Amino acid sequence: MAWITTIKPEDATDRLAEAYAWQAQRLGSPTEFTQLGSLEPEIVHARLALYKASENTGSALSAREKNLAGHVTSVVNRTPHCTSRSRIKLRELGFDDTQLKAIDALDFTGLNDREAVVARYAEKLTRDPGAVSEADIKELRRVGLGDREIVDANNQVAHLNYTNRVANGLGLLSEVADDFPAFDTVPA
């Protein structure tokens, strides 16, 4: 699978085995993504901890908005593995195939105003982070996002820009199956 050596769950020991077991509590096994960092177990731990914190902010950003932000990021970055996971989430959250096809083409016209603004922020922050301005934040506020929701959306996009590059940069290009439990990957 990956372009560098990784350590399989059955071969993991000590700190790496602990990290794998942490994610396996909910998912049953560590993800392929998690295994990409296995040559340095502390990286695996730190990534899982950040993932847990990122997914448990508890802001008023809806699950649809939050996962839309992540999905748009992965689409812009052309990340097949990550988009296959987030597409499952968006489908479970009620986006239909027509909407998903449009989102995958970065066409946000079929979304409601608030979702479209979040999606556009995700696209801009991913494609050209240096061009983001206070006007973009004001636009998020206009559709009702407060400071906590803005920090949450920013982190979601920024974090996916991290994980997308880990996946694509080390050769995790496979897509997960349609029945992959995409919401269970967050460690307990």
Partner 1 sequence: MSIQPHASETAASLANDAGEGWIDTIPPAAATGSLAAAYERQQAKLGRVTELTQIGSLYPDLVEARLNLYAVVDATPSNVPDWARRAVALLTSVLNGCRFCTVGHVEGLTAAGHEELAEELKAHPDTASAQDPAVDALLEYTRKLVRRPGEITIKDVKALRDAGWDDLAILDVNNLAAYYSYINRVASGLGLTREA
Amino acid of residue 137 = I
Does the protein bind partner 1 through residue 100 (CB under 8 A)?
Answer: no
Dihedral (CA of 13, 18, 23, 25) sign: positive
Closest approach of partner 1 to the CB of residue 123, in Å: 12
**Region 4-23 residues binding partner 1, contact defined as CB under 8 A:** 4-5
**Region 74-93 residues binding partner 1, contact defined as CB under 8 A:** 77-79
Q: Which of 7, 12, 150, 182 is close enough to bind partner 1 by CB under 8 A?
A: 150
Residue 186, exposed/middle/buried by CB under 10 A (0-12, 13-18, 19+)?
Answer: middle
Q: How many CA atoms lie within 13 A of 155 on its CB side?
A: 17
CA 186 – CA 169 distance, rounded (Å): 22
Does the protein bind partner 1 through residue 128 (CB under 8 A)?
Answer: yes
Backbone φ, ψ for residue 126 (5° rounding):
-80, -45
Residues near partner 1, by CB under 8 A? 3-5, 36-37, 39-40, 42-43, 45-47, 49-50, 52-54, 56-57, 77-79, 121, 125-126, 128-134, 137, 147-148, 150-152, 154-155, 157-159, 161-166, 168-171
